[in-house]
Structures are given as structure tokens and as C-alpha cells.
Amino acid sequence: MSKSAKNPGKKVDVCPHQFAFMLDNWFRKLLHRPEKIVGDYIKAGDTVIDLGCGPGFFSIDMAKMVGKEGRVIAVDLQKQMIEKVKKKAKKHSVIDRMDFHQCEQDKIGLNQTADFALAYYMVHEVPDSKSLLKEIKGMLKTEGKLLIVEPKMHVSDELFKTMLKDAEDVGFKVVDFPKGKGGRSILLTKS
């Protein structure tokens, strides 16, 4: 747990690796189909970042979407989650197109650029969303896009509007508020 930089009294929880099974199971595949959620934004040969990848629910399908010429960078704070994604990537024969990065609590720390980044149900877990968004913007290529999806049960409309303002403050532009992504959703672009 950490305290929010914007609200020092607010504790921020990260889903523990012991509950990874809740993030990656057949039932969730029915609710949050990766190809439906990110398929419109990823093409063969792309480099994509899965921020807060957890056990790889989106990472593996995104690795299939980018094909042999593309890359998926699975990023998580917890070493155990990264290990779960590696194991799953081997099982699905996509490990050769994946990179794995354990981030710090207050910094992603990637030196790579990407065509697309996904932040699914994770921005609300970060102590300083504005700093996070600024760092993500720096990792995206000129036409790069970021999809943020936040759960309605954890993120109020007011908090989501604050995230949107933070994104605009660091220079993101709104492309869309896509429906059917599994929560409050916004698609942003760097340019």
C-alpha cells in the first residue's frame, strides 16, 4: 500500500499476486474479451505496453495481435505477476515477442517507445496519476494511443474526470470515450 501524492491521506491498494486467479480466468474472458477491448487499436508489427499487466490477461492476446514482428512489454510492480506472465507466454508460444519489466511503485522506468499502451483497471491504484500519465506520454510514439479503463465500482465519475484533466494537463488529447470496454473508458493520443 502507498499513499496518494495528490491526497496523502488516501491509501492506494494494488491487487496482490495471490489473487491473480481472479484477474485471469474463463469467466473474465466472457466479460472482458481482449480482442474486443484492444483489437481496434493494435495491428501486426506494433509495439504495445500492458501497464499493470497482472498475470497477463491482456498481454498474451496482445502478443498474438502484434504477430512475430511486434513486441508486447508486460509491466507490473510485482515480481510474482511478471513470473506468471512469463510462464503463460511460454505456454502460448509468444514469449519470443514479449519483454517483461518490473516497475517501481512511483515510476515505470521504460526506455522504449510504443504505438499503444493499455492501462486497464490500474490508474486508480497509482499514487500520482498525473506523473504516471506524463511518463506514459513520453513512452508513446508520435501517433501513439493510450486506452484507460477504470472500474465503475472503484472509480467515481468525479475521480474519472480528474484523471481526464490530468491527462489533458500533461498534453494528451481525447480521441474517444469508447463503450463496451468494461468500465469508464477513454482513448487518448499523444498528438
Classify strands 2-3 and 11-12 as parallel, antiparallel or unpaired.
Answer: antiparallel
Cα–Cα distance between 188 and 191 in angstroms, integer? 9
Cα–Cα distance between 102 and 51 in angstroms, integer? 10
Residue 72: its H or E element: strand 71-76
Task: Return the CATH number of 34-189, one of 3.40.50.150, 3.40.1190.20, 3.40.190.10, 3.40.50.300.
Answer: 3.40.50.150
pTM of the model: 0.85
Full pLDDT tens readout for the chain, 191 residues: 233 334 444 444 665 555 444 456 454 565 668 999 999 999 999 999 999 998 898 999 999 999 999 999 999 998 998 999 999 999 999 999 999 999 988 899 999 999 999 999 899 888 899 999 999 999 999 999 999 999 998 899 999 999 999 999 999 999 999 999 989 999 999 87
Cα–Cα distance between 145 and 143 in angstroms, integer? 7
